[in-house]
């Protein structure tokens, strides 16, 4: 298991966690412009980024989640409550849901 934290220039925190022996990783709250850090870290850890998850959508940062998902082939995920707030496709997550890796 690994856990990495990235402090963005605007003081936003992003996270990358996963399992090296399973070769999977999840990016949480990636900031736009930091996608290469996640891709490079995935290569260092020898994992595939399977999910890019934004925990919320509001103006404290500009998300790089969708862009990272496009670049890595990961699923882009948001909580289901955001379906009326955004106009783009995402995998809906619900409270208490477990994500299979």
Q: What is the pLDDT of residues 3-14, one digit of tens each?
A: 999 998 877 899
Q: What is the pTM of this model?
A: 0.91
pLDDT in tens, 27-53: 999 999 999 999 999 999 999 999 999
For the chain, domains (ranges, CATH) are 2-93 (3.60.15.10)
DSSP states along the chain: -EEEEEE-TTS-EEEEEEETTTTEEEEESPBTT-HHHHHHHHHHHT-EEEEEE-S--STTS-B-HHHHHHHHTPEEEEEGGGTTT-SS--EEE-TTPPPP-
Residue 100: pLDDT band with limits 50, 70, 90: confident
């Amino acid at each position: 298991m690994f856990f990495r934290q990235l402090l963005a220039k605007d003081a936003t925190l992003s996270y990358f966690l996963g399992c090296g022996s399973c070769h999977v990783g999840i990016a949480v709250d990636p900031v736009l412009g930091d996608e290469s850090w996640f891709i490079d870290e995935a290569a260092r850890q020898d994992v595939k980024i399977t999910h890019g998850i934004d925990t919320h959508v509001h103006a404290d940062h500009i998300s790089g989640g969708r862009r990272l998902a496009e670049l890595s082939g990961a699923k882009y995920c948001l909580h289901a409550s955001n379906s009326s707030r955004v106009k783009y496709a995402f995998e809906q997550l619900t409270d208490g849901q477990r994500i299979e890796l």
